[in-house]
Amino acid sequence: MAHDFDQTRFIEELTWHQPALEAFCHANVARREDAREVLQATCVKLWEKAAEWRTDSAFLPWAFTVARFVALSHLRDRMRDRLVLDEDVVLAMADETADAAAAFSERREALEICLGRVKAEQRGLLHAHYLEGRSVRDLSQATGRGESAIKMSLLRLRQLLSQCIEQQLQSAS
């Protein structure tokens, strides 16, 4: 049964689920360099098979299936060099990782919603500390607020976001 290939939708789905795919690859191979290779090979394979993906079905389970085969192929190649992991172990780990990565995507979507409810100034503080890696001391100096005030703000924001995420996940199920 033929269906139309929506390239834009495919790219949007692949981009959105990239962190989950990366986590999946890291969980299925031991070394970071190998995980990067598996992720890259998975993305290439997904692009090659893009026309096979049915837009009326969930992208992530399909992508995990492709990633699982790429990881197994990579491990078989590595096993020729030395013993790595038994294939049954990798398959069992892949199933558990797929579940965890799907939950990660749901939590990420909930976080996006919750961050949208936070004031711009608070989002800026979160961004500066967690994404840019700026220290509490640096943020204190930049804002003219005490370090303890910055720490307390970050603590309250984490608690607020955590509660909001849990509410989002409960309402979604």
B/e letters for 102-129, b = 16+ CB within 10 Å, e = fewer, are: bebbbeeebeeebbeebeeebeebbebb
Residues 95 and 127 in one domain: no
Phi-psi bin for 133: left (phi > 0), alpha (psi -120 to 50), beta? left
Q: For 91-95, 109-113, 160-164, which range has the lowest pLDDT when averaged over its residues?
A: 91-95
| Domain housing 77 | 1-116
**pLDDT per position as a tens digit, 45-76:** 999 999 888 888 888 889 988 998 999 888 88
Residues 37 and 94 in one domain: yes
Residues 95 and 75 in one domain: yes
Model confidence band, residue 4 (pLDDT cutoffs 50, 70, 90)? low
According to DSSP, residue 38 is labeled: H
Residues 123 and 90 in one domain: no
Residue 2's pLDDT is what?
43
What is the token pair recorded at 103?
A: 């939950």
Tokens 């409960």 found at: 170
**With 90 as the cut, is the pLDDT of residue 156 above it?**
yes
Q: How many residues does the chain have?
A: 173
Residues 27 and 100 in one domain: yes
Q: In this predicted model, which residue has the larger pLDDT, 131 or 53?
A: 53
Average pLDDT of span 128-148: 90
**Domain final residue, candidates 84, 101, 116:** 116
Residues 6+ apart with CB under 8 A from 37: 74
Instruction: Please report, rounded to a whole number, the percentage of residues in the chain having pLDDT higher than 90.
Output: 39
SS3 of 95-151: the string is HHHHHHHHHHHHHHHHHHHHHHCCCHHHHHHHHHHHHCCCCHHHHHHHHCCCHHHHH
**With 60 as the cut, is the pLDDT of residue 84 above it?**
no
**pLDDT per position as a tens digit, 13-50:** 999 888 888 888 888 887 888 889 999 999 999 999 99
What is the token pair recorded at 141?
A: 């100096």
